[in-house]
Amino acid sequence: MDLLERIRRKDAKVGVIGLGYVGLPLAVELAKVGFDVTGFDVDARKVGELNAGRSYIPDVPTAEVAEVVAAGRLHATTDMSGLAQMDVVDICVPTPLRKTRDPDMSYVIQAVEAVAKHLRRGQLVSLESTTYPGTTDELVKGTLEAGGLKAGTDFYLSFSPERVDPGNPTYLTRNIPKVVGGIDRVSTEVACALYGQVTTTVVPVSSTRVAEMAKLLENTFRAVNIGMVNELALMCHRMGIDVWEVIEAAATKPFGFMPFYPGPGLGGHCIPIDPFYLSWKAKEHGFEARFIELAGQINSSMPEFVIELVGEALNSVRKPINGSRVHVFGVTYKRDIDDLRESPALDILELLARRGSCVSYTDPYVPTLKHGKLSLTSVPEADALSRKPDCVVIATDHRVFDFAAIARDAPLVVDTRNALRGHAGAHLFRL
């Protein structure tokens, strides 16, 4: 098989559609091992940065981008006609939810239609975007075959879910096992050969649907367990029990328990969204995923509980939320990254503003912030504390924050991340 041999010799030309948190690391890794890689994106800014040898993703060092760009093994373009020259096309575009909580497949459809327009015999098309079971077989395959070529006969088609964990320095594209499911045995073989060049472990499965469902299981598992521990946090608050101490004690059990931690809500592109993809698809088959949807409701309600804690803190010094100055530390959805997608801190800021608070924030990863009617600029940590806000909320526990100073200098602190463990005082209020 010509394509299989070309992949093994690294002679195949690889196109990556979508140069974000998933596509850019993959494109760089493919180029590093010797492939000729072209990145495709509708964002001209990303294309310009990449062609200049600069990374705009914290997990991808600029030095690595500059090296492969200078070697001529990686370049980017907004011109989708270049897909015709690719032997492999990897689709890594976003799959958000609409406000109605059903999947927004517009980015995938746009990418697949671009591929279909330039599809030729012998190509491999692989989808990495997280989606519902059946997407590859029902949506992607039909669109690609509309021009007359047949999947499995004229071209190869697979699904291999992304497993990127932004900000995690231990698990990267190279050492995260890669699940791969093709529409037939040969498609799986070709896709496994490709991913085997850049990942240490490839896990072939029997179909695209299994691969799609595996990804949703991974993130639904986390969402449900976080929902359970968030509910436990609410229960412990009513009972006057320290939920963090409870989890720490339970985690000493060497079997049958895995610690999850409460927080101000779920953020990021996957965990808050993927379970809804699964429950939406289940409804098509007459199945109601009540357990999954309940976890989603609990997780999405956590910002409101944080506002309750702010109210409790202010009430302790006889101040109302309305008119109080509340400063939020950290607005990204997790520590040490610049990603705001679905961040619960945004909801917290918005809810506080609606209740009449004068809000401000500190986040070295987000210099400016626009969300709804809010338009804010990050305040340096020392300046924020010197202004003596009425209450401080730790929404994201970036390692660069001086938590000892926050515990010492802030009049009131609502800690949603247990960042102030070891500190005590009547002015400290923990989730």
Which residues are CB-neighbours of 143 under 8 A, at least 6 positions away? 109, 112, 113, 116
CA dihedral 228, 267, 171, 362 (to 10 degrees): -120
Q: What is d(CA 17, CA 303) in angstroms, rounded to the nearest whole number?
A: 35
- Taking alpha carbons only, the member of 303, 300, 305 closest to residue 271 is 300
Beta bridge partners of 370: 375
Q: What three-state secondary structure class fits 271? A: coil
Please identify which of the residues 192, 270, 358, 391 carries the catalytic annotation: 270
HSE, side-chain direction, 13 A CA sphere, residue 150:
3
Number of C-alpha atoms within 13 angstroms, CB side, residue 15?
27
Which tokens is 400 given?
Answer: 């660069």
Among candidates 268, 407, 413, which has minimal Cα distance to 345? 268
List the structure tokens of 277: 């993809």
Report the b/e string of 232-265 with b at 16+ CB within 10 A. bbbebbeeeeebbeebeeeeeeeeeeeebbbbbb
Contact 425, 403 (CB under 8 A): no
- Annotation marks residue 270 as catalytic: yes
Report yes or no: 108 and 140 within 8 Å, Cβ to Cβ. Answer: yes
User: What residues are labeled active site?
Assistant: 270
